[in-house]
Amino acid sequence: MQSDERSFRYDADRSLYTSVAAAWGFLLLIESGLIALLIAVLAPYLWLKLLLLVILAALNVWAIRLLRAPLSTAHKLTPAALQLRYGHSLRADLPRSNLVAATPVRETVGSLAVLGARYDAERDRVVAAFSEKGQVLLTLAEAVIFQLGPFQRATARHVLINVDERDLFLAALNLPQSASPVSPPAAARSILPVARKEMRRGARPLVITQGNDYALRTEDLNRHFGDYVAVENLNLALRRGEIYGFLGPNGAGKTTTIKMIVGLLRPTAGRVIVDTHDVWVDPLAAKSAFGFVPDRSLLYERLTGVEYLNFLAQMRGMPQTEADPEIDRLLDLLDLTAHAHKLSGSYSFGMKRKLALAGALLHRPPVLILDEPLNGLDPRSAHRLKELFGELADTGKTIFLSTHDLHTAETLCHRVGIIHQGELMAEGSAQELRALAAVPDLESVFLALTADRPTEVQS
């Protein structure tokens, strides 16, 4: 442990950030000029004009400081604490005794980074990074309340930051590269030395031949982000009429895999075949063979439910005489008929999920790819969708289902695959995995395969 205080800055992508901030600043300048002109013309009194212009100037100064905030990134490491500083939006002192892991990662942070630190509820982390370079994911033993600016607070056990000298920072922290502050149950811990080794034997690559009746398969699928390996040699083969559960902890590679399957992210190596079509060789034919529901429903919220589905039907070239009865059937099937002519922006979260599913089913694809489809649904709606998935599988539809709900995976899926740190750790029916690991439930299998496995240090 270091005895002296050390400061760790981040300036690596200053020019990139400055260009983004400059664009925002230019728009702000134009908007402020127009507002100032309106004040000068419309305000009836000189004192009122001056007051409004002063307020406008103060707001502009505040906005410019907000845009410049990430450029002030500097974190200080003392013998007792790690002091995080992210512009004006984050001030946090983390006791070193509360730090259990520091992992080098490379993740997309999005354009919201220009506004300062924020809370990512999906991954349960505070994001205090504005670039993909020099990222470190800090894991805390106990959750901490972070003050994110003057009006927002968040409780989290993970923090994503940038530092220029990442290797020196990791060495100064002297923490494990990854750790889980939550220990698996005793049943899972007892099988760790043997079960992981035995179950990984069952995850060897499948032998895929042209004669096999697979609706979806991946062949030696890899995705690298620089030196970081997000997915490694992934081989999946889903038969027609099969519900396949894709399980893994946050950051395991599930979303990256799904993006490669649906054609949103090009693999570093390997192939994806959907209904005999290579997604990256014949993308139009491949994408017409599947329906995709992302983890966050992307709807045109100024369209009604019916208008949204009609728009999708037109995009897919469906004749109106074929689309109309199918839209009516799906709205009825998903209990959306009463809301069909309301703006989708007024829908509840669960209704939006069901409308997105209706859009994925509209062209009757042989394959459905669903990312957390039950997330946010009430128990009745979730139960109805589970029944629907079973009915679709009975008609020959193949469903690739990414989920964190282990009970759903155990009761609904014909087979499950468990991915961890980009590698397929085990695959088979829930019963097969339980028997192989000699544990009573899928949760114990999952914890045994994903706990206490160190992450390789990234340069």
Q: Left (φ > 0), alpha (ψ -120 to 50) or beta: where does 82 sit?
A: beta
Q: Which two tokens stand for residue 308?
A: 């949204």
Number of domains into which the chain is organized: 3
User: Which strand (E) or helix (H) includes residue 38?
Assistant: helix 14-42
Give the best-scoring range by mean pLDDT among 185-194, 208-217, 409-418: 409-418
349-405 pLDDT per residue, tens: 888 888 999 999 999 999 999 998 887 777 888 888 888 898 899 888 999 999 888
- Residues 200-241 pLDDT 10s: 444 433 333 344 578 999 999 999 988 889 999 999 999 999
Whether the per-residue pLDDT at 171 is higher than 90: the answer is: no
Q: What is the mean pLDDT of residues 149-165?
A: 81
Residue 304 resides in a domain:
no
Same domain, 76 and 60: no
Q: Could you tell me if 37 and 115 lie in one domain?
A: no
- pLDDT digits over 104-156, tens only? 877 766 555 555 778 877 667 888 887 777 788 888 888 888 887 666 788 88
What residues make up the domain containing 212? Answer: 187-289+365-450
Higher pLDDT, 22 or 97: 97
Say what the pLDDT of residue 401 is: 92
Q: Does one domain contain both 252 and 383?
A: yes
Please give the backbone phi and psi of residue 300, each rounded to the nearest 5 degrees, phi first: -90, 100
Question: What pairing do the DSSP bridges indicate for beta strands 277-278 and 269-274?
Answer: antiparallel
Same domain, 284 and 379: yes
Asked if residue 82 and residue 61 are part of one domain, the reply reads: no
CA contacts within 13 A on the Cβ side of 261 = 34
95 and 41 both lie in a single domain:
no
Residue 265 forms part of a structural domain = yes
- Tell me, yes or no, whether 268 and 408 share the same domain: yes
Give the C-alpha separation, 123 to 49, whole Å: 47
Question: Would residue 456 count as lying in a domain?
Answer: no
Residue 222 lies in a domain: yes
Q: Verify that 81 and 150 share a domain, yes or no.
A: yes
State phi, psi for 375 to the nearest 5 degrees.
Answer: -65, 125
pLDDT in tens, 8-62: 877 655 555 566 667 777 777 888 888 888 888 888 888 888 888 888 888 877 7
What is the rounded distance in angstroms from the CA atom of residue 217 to the CA atom of residue 213? 10
- Angle, CA of 248, 249 and 253, to the nearest 5°: 65
Does 95 lie in the same domain as 57? no
Domain C-terminal end among 173, 197, 228 = 173
pLDDT digits (tens, 9 = 90+) for 61-72: 777 766 665 566
* pLDDT 10s digits, 442-452: 777 777 777 65
Residue ending a domain, choose from 173, 199, 228: 173
Q: Quick one: pLDDT band at residue 193, thresholds 50, 70, 90?
A: very low
The sign of the dihedral angle between the CA atoms of 68, 70, 71, 74 is: positive
Confirm whether 348 is domain-assigned.
no
Chain-wide mean pLDDT for the chain?
79
Tell me the pLDDT band of 289, cut-offs 50, 70 and 90: very high
Looking at the fold, whether 88 and 155 belong to one and the same domain comes out as yes
Q: What is the pLDDT of residue 439?
A: 67
- The CA–CA distances, whole Å, from 80 to 98, 170, 175, 291, 307 equal 10, 16, 14, 52, 59
pLDDT at 9: 78
- Establish if 318 belongs to a structural domain: no
Residue 239 included in any domain: yes
Give the residue, 418 or 28, on which the prediction is more confident. 418
Query: 300-325, pLDDT tens digit by residue?
Result: 888 999 999 999 999 888 999 999 99
pLDDT of residue 66: 64
Task: Look at residue 319 and tell me if it is in a domain.
Answer: no
Do 191 and 267 sit in the same domain of this protein? yes
CATH number at residue 437: 3.40.50.300
Residues 260 and 113 in one domain: no
For the ranges 85-94, 296-305, 435-444, the maximum mean pLDDT occurs at 296-305
- Domain ends where: 70, 96, 119? 70
The pLDDT score that the predictor gives to residue 199 is: 46
Helix (H, G, I), strand (E, B) or coil at 424: strand
Amino acid at position 40, single letter: A
Q: How far apart are CA 401 and CA 153, in angstroms?
A: 33
Read off the pLDDT of each residue in 291-300 and give the average, rounded to a whole number. Answer: 85
